[in-house]
Amino acid sequence: MDKIYDIAILGGGPGGMTAAIYAKRAGLDVVVIEKSVPGGAVATTYEVANYPGFTTISGMDLATKMFEHTQSLNIEFAWDEVKKVKVEGEVKEVECYQSSYKAKTLILGFGASVRKLNLENEKSFIGKGISYCATCDGNLFKGKTVAIVGGGNTALEDCFYLSNLAEKVYLIHRRDEFRGDQILAEQVKNKENIEIVYNSTVSKISGDTVLKSIEVLNKVTNETTEIKLDGLFVCIGRGPDTEMVDGNLTLSEQGYIVTDDCMRTNYEGVYAIGDIRQTPLRQIVTACSDGAIAATKAFEYIKTHKK
């Protein structure tokens, strides 16, 4: 007979790892299924400066510390990618590319994937000039010219990070006010080799075997300008990834999973945490908080459903 875990946690980000720590310490049999590295989006964040206990810490270091914490409790990780999740019924099923898992409860924490600009030839330049992760690919552009698209915290942080590597950095934002924190915006505005291009979007990408230039459309004047560059970093946020869930989860208008205060979805024994959840704030601390609540509620659910 297949093993049935108490909890299968889908996604090894900060929320998933926190849920695993709470679940394991409560004596539950838990598996964390993660397709790449522990930490999720945090692992590719250059610097985290708002997680209590660390004045500043690199995202990778914080993710590693969290992972080490899980390993000190012998929490099982399955390095596998989820293909399909069955949320109905008493025993939930998770089909992955390498194996399948069964569990009494599920905690959905697979975050959100990066948004694309959806320009005609965007895909063909991925890895040939276009990147969605400055901390992963920034080093390839030492002494070169790059542009970043976006106006949130990721774009501002990545812009500053890249300005210490590249010779010239353009920051292209579709409005004249940043969505990201003022402290980060000031840092960017005061850096000599950063040029901010407000009220603008990228309208065209050009190159041959690699990216060579972009066309930028100013939405106020309707003028287009060509910028010659070596790299384009797209940092325009993330969107929820729920297609693999087989069932009718209640979603918000933007596609995020709706939960109650206890992280419960509309399916019994199924919880959602972190960036995939409809929430007023998407931060590492809020994801951790979601994880702790979900694990605690899953524990109570398992106890009351024990036969």
Minimal distance, residue 259 CB to ligand NAP, in Å: 18
Binding segment for ligand NAP (CB under 6 A), chosen from 128-136, 153-161, 204-212, 249-257, is: 153-161
Among 12, 15, 39, 152, binds ligand NAP (CB under 6 A): 152
**Residues numbered 160-189 forming contacts with ligand NAP, rule: CB under 6 A:** 174-175, 179
133 is catalytic: yes
Pick 47 or 95: Cβ nearer ligand NAP: 47
- 137 catalytic? Reply is yes
Q: Does 50 bind ligand NAP (CB under 6 A)?
A: yes
Q: Which of 96, 133, 159, 235 is catalytic?
A: 133
Figure out which of the listed residues 39, 111, 151, 269 binds ligand NAP, where binding follows CB under 6 A: 151
Residue type present at position 269: G
Using CB under 6 A, which of the segments 19-27, 145-153, 223-231, 248-256 binds ligand NAP?
Answer: 145-153
Q: Does the annotation mark 136 as catalytic?
A: yes
Binding site for ligand NAP (CB under 6 A): 45, 48-50, 115, 149-155, 157, 174-175, 179, 201, 235-238, 282
Where in the sequence numbering do the catalytic residues fall?
133, 136-137
